[in-house]
Chains A and B, each alone.
Chain A
Amino acid sequence: MLILTRKIGQSLIIGDDIEIKVVSIDGENIKIGISAPKNVSVVRKELLEVKDENKKAALIDKSSLKKLEKLIKKD
């Protein structure tokens, strides 16, 4: 991984038209501004994990429901 040091207000350019700017720093929180063409998707990395998790959650079927019902009764 390429690692660069930047100060508040400074930017990086990726390719021809993507700019990443350090906007502000407050303790552990770093605000980052991103300018990119509309067709470039920018998401927080955790969102991809949430997507996967949602897809798994939606797979619920009758057999899992039965197991769940049993589990609740046991309690």
Chain B
Amino acid sequence: MNIKTKNFGLVSYNEEDVLYFDDGIPGFEGLKSFILLSVDEYTPFKWLQSLDDTDIAFVIIDPKVVVKDYKVEINEETVKLLDIKDLNHILVFAIVVIPDEIEKMTANLKAPIIINAENNKAMQILLDNDEYMIKHPILKELKNADTHS
């Protein structure tokens, strides 16, 4: 299948790659279907592209690139909602905000995107602990990270 996206032009994807956010994403409650896009030039960033509104895409990053020992606590509610059977099949991403001054870009480590790779159900959760910030500056970490691995 193909969609025409605002940022990447025509993109093709398979039905089995579609991620289902049953409740949408906070602020975008109506957007339920997304795909993950990887573009080599942008490693370590990836894109979460909406299929419902092809103008909407989020830049995302593996939070471990930002904080090496980043950990999420998946609560019972999330286990139920995403029908999680095995925590090893969970993918975790942080949404990145890129302001005009790109040096001030931040990642939302407090509210990660959780994907159950076994059934492609996904949601954005809000962590209870105060360890991680909604606006975590990431420029320094990016410079230290090996972006080619």
Complex contact B97–A47 (CB within 8 A): no
- In contact, B124 and A50 (Cβ under 8 angstroms): yes
Within 8 A of B (CB), among A17-67: 29, 44, 46-47, 49-58, 60-62, 64-65, 67
For chain A, the bracket of interface size reads 20 to 34
Band of interface residues on B: 20 to 34
Distance in angstroms between the alpha carbons of A47 and B124 in the assembled complex: 10
Contact with B along A3-29 (1 / 0, CB 8 A): 000000000000000000000000001
B114 to chain A, nearest CB (A): 14
Q: Which chain B residues have a beta carbon within 8 Å of chain A's beta carbons?
A: 6-7, 25-28, 41-43, 45, 56-59, 95-100, 102, 108, 110-111, 124, 126, 128, 134-135, 142-143, 147
